[in-house]
Amino acid sequence: MRLHIKNGRVVDPASGRDGIGDVFIAEGKISEESAKADRVIDAQGLVVAPGFIDLSARLREPGLEYKATLESEMDAAVAGGVTSLACPPDTDPPLDEPGLVDMLRRRAKALARARVYPIGALTVKLKGEALTEMGQLTDAGCVAFSQANVPLADTQVLWRALQYAATFGYRVWLRVEDAWLAKGGVAHDGEVATRLGLPGIPAFAETIALATLLELVRATGAQVHVCRLSTAGAVALMRKARQDGLPVTCDAAIHHLHLCEMDLGYFDPLCRLQPPLRSQRDRDALAQGLAHGAIDCLVSDHTPVDEDGKHLPFAEAEPGATGLELLLPLALKWGAAQKLPLAATLARITCEPARILGAASGRIAPGAPADLAIFDPQAPVRVSAEMLKSQGKNTPFLGHEVAGSVRYTLVAGNVVYEA
Amino acid sequence: MQRNPQLNSKGELQHLLSIEGLPREVLLQILDTADSFVGVTEREVKKVPLLRGKSVFNLFFEPSTRTRTTFEIAAKRLSADVINLNIALSSATKGESLLDTVANLSAMQADIFVVRHASSGAPFLIARHVKPHEHVVNAGDGRHAHPTQGLLDLFTIRHYKKDFTGLTIGIVGDVLHSRVARSLIHGLTTLGAPDVRVIAPQTLLPAGVEALGVRVFHDMRAGLKDCDVVVMLRLQNERMRGALLPSAQEFFKHYGLTGDKLSLARKDAIVMHPGPMNRGVEIDSSVADGPHSVILPQVTFGIAVRMAVMSIVAGN
């Protein structure tokens, strides 16, 4: 199948290309040749960009199908222009055995929508005690190892895990939160939690855990990606670590760029997130850190939760928000607020995460996989339960008006979504 | 920010969920109405027909004796039918969800739900899901709010001190876990009390408590100086040992109210306590039973205040 995408504004953050032009696709890859196409897509008025890469999206399979299924979430991914996603191992059972990973990849492949990159569990059952068989999990297709949202309290296990991973060059992705300091907490330990009487998680639960992790990276040389920063202090620590030349990268989630503790309002369970929404100062530091390079990329942290899981008092509600379909509009909103060129904005959801993932996609270059998102950056979208393809309707942005609507999504040269 | 969920479109009290965000006029309306009910509770026939034919469901997801009983008495004095549900022992343990429980009771034609729950914000969740003619009264949610206790504290202070605008109030003890303290602080700042103090060790104060409009004291003697009102908070057993406090004895040494410490407050100071008291932990018996103590009148006023709240929400 040969495709010709014409008249679009082609934006390739990796090369800096930004201009009206043509993109040709042959045999699932970007091609230089303009041979006769089987299909021509007229992208007049639309942006043609590399498909988005999301480093944190929960698909809820295996085991949590009442919250979402692979099928529903893959539909959500391609509707959001996401062509590659990494899924954390907090499924039921967790992704700690090669058989589970293999099954997930096969099922995902059979659906032929977005590419799925499983993240294996770092420890057996995510319990933080024994290391998983990282070698076999890598052979089964795991691209990295993580504890998802389960804290690894035992620093000796963390140290050993990093040593082991460093030995073989496996990548470790961790969210940082001191398990003891965060114990029992459900909201940022600050003015709003005090007012609402919610048990708090202090900002230093994150910075202390990050400082510990960075020391262990220094000691072991492990390649570590720090997931979903939430505090200004962590942004400063990451900036310093990068200056020191440590092999660390990091991301932030869409919600934390745009929301803060004030958005909890009167106990809105849709704002119950992990990590918690923090102060305005933290939110602004994350938005600026992402703009100025302290933070590498932006993730949706897509976490579909069923209605019953949210129809509970705040502290009992299940944390998380659906996000795959909001990644583009919320990235655009952030980029506009930071006055960034479109290519720089899109870099945070294309070539930057591709680099961390070690994927060949995330660019529009001859020979690269033809994974593309074609979208109207100005089209208004009103976020509603009905418009979301994800089975999870849980987002604090319900009712918000955002801009940016995907018209076509291509994976390996196939049109997998068409609005 | 969403509209205050306690007020209807006319700005009247639809539910009582928290004192925070209630206009001064609404607080005064409740206190004035309670004033008129104090007489009723002293009459031989202690009943008025304001809620005749209405059903009040006491929904207690957390055990309570005093608050539940005073709500029951208040509802009966308003001539309502009262149904007590001790859910801590029933549906919840069978796995029924909070909203299912409420929906079932709503199907039994409830008019007012009086709710106590261990989770902060639970009454807000219920209020979002009840029918328009139903009312929710928060009888204590987690650490968040205990508005009828706050109101009866305000009522008691006004009864003895007449006016809030010149008062110094010291709130002593476990502010971190106290819904009583939060509700009282919001009420006092709304009614114009100029000097509200919290007196506690760092371990028993929530982050950024100053933002509620209070001054922080760690030294009880300094904090009590010239207080018109001293409010002692209950210290729960499980907090008395561990990482928050070394022991009940040590707490009493620093923050227990003795006659000696009380002498630093104004001569006509009143001493309050939401109950149940731990004698010898927060408060010395000689003070609890002494001339400054208004702890038992608080309980009596509590009935009038709860009558006021229920009659006002049911009328809106």
Complex prediction ipTM: 0.93
Measured between CA atoms, the residue of chain A closest to residue B142 is A197
A180 CA: distance to closest CA in chain B (Å):
12
The pLDDT value given to residue A142: 97
Q: State whether B145 and A265 contact (CB < 8 Å).
A: no
Q: Regarding beta strands A2-12 and A17-26, do their DSSP bridges make them parallel or antiparallel, or are they unpaired? A: antiparallel
* Residue with token string 């919840």: B92
B268 CA: distance to closest CA in chain A (Å):
31
Report the distance separating Cα A201 and Cα A179, nearest Å. 10
Q: Please give the helix or strand (H or E) that residue B36 lies within, else none.
A: helix B24-42
Res B90 pLDDT > 70: no
Closest listed residue to residue A392, CA positions, set A20, A93, A65, A132: A65
Res B91 pLDDT > 60: no
Q: Please give the helix or strand (H or E) that residue B124 lies within, else none.
A: helix B122-129
B167 φ, ψ to 5°? -90, 145
Report the distance separating Cα A184 and Cα B70, nearest Å. 32
A197: which chain B residues are within 8 Å (Cβ-Cβ)?
Answer: 120, 141-145, 179, 182
The pLDDT value given to residue A6: 95
- Residue A295 zone, left/alpha/beta (φ > 0; ψ -120 to 50; rest): beta
The pLDDT value given to residue B92: 55
Report the distance separating Cα B166 and Cα B187, nearest Å. 15
DSSP state of A56: -
B45: Cβ contacts below 8 Å, ≥ 6 apart: none
Structural tokens at position B82: 């009262």
Express each pLDDT in A162-190 by its tens digit: 999 999 999 999 999 999 999 999 999 99
Q: Regarding beta strands B135-141 and A297-299, do their DSSP bridges make them parallel or antiparallel, or are they unpaired? A: unpaired
Q: What is the DSSP string of A94-116?
A: -S-SHHHHHHHHHHHHHHTSSEE
Report the distance separating Cα A244 and Cα A361, nearest Å. 29
Q: State whether A198 and B182 contact (CB < 8 Å).
A: no
Report the distance separating Cα B31 and Cα B27, nearest Å. 6
Of A262, A268, A314, the CB nearest to B120: A314
Does A168 touch chain B if contact means CB atoms closer than 8 Å?
no
The overall average pLDDT reported for chain A is 96
* Cα A190 → chain centroid: 27
pLDDT classification of B108: cutoffs 50, 70, 90? confident
Express each pLDDT in A391-415 by its tens digit: 999 999 999 999 999 999 999 999 9
Measured between CA atoms, the residue of chain B closest to residue A262 is B1
Report the distance separating Cα B302 and Cα B272, nearest Å. 13
CB atoms within 10 A of CB B115: 27
The pLDDT value given to residue B243: 87
Measured between CA atoms, the residue of chain A closest to residue B140 is A197
Residue A38 designated active-site: no
The pLDDT value given to residue B109: 87
Q: What is the DSSP string of A231-243?
A: -HHHHHHHHHHHH
Q: What value does the mean pLDDT take over residues A247-268? A: 97
The pLDDT value given to residue B1: 44
pLDDT classification of B93: cutoffs 50, 70, 90? low
Report the distance separating Cα A379 and Cα B281, nearest Å. 64
The pLDDT value given to residue B44: 79
Beta strands in A151-261 (DSSP E): 171-175, 187-188, 200-201, 223-227, 248-253
The pLDDT value given to residue A248: 98
Express each pLDDT in B271-295 by its tens digit: 999 989 999 999 999 999 999 999 9
Q: What value does the mean pLDDT take over residues A267-278? A: 97
Does A281 touch chain B if contact means CB atoms closer than 8 Å?
no
A285 CA: distance to closest CA in chain B (Å):
20
* B268: helix, strand or coil: coil
* A49: helix, strand or coil: strand
Q: What value does the mean pLDDT take over residues A81-99? A: 96
Q: Are B199 and B217 in contact (CB under 8 A)?
A: yes
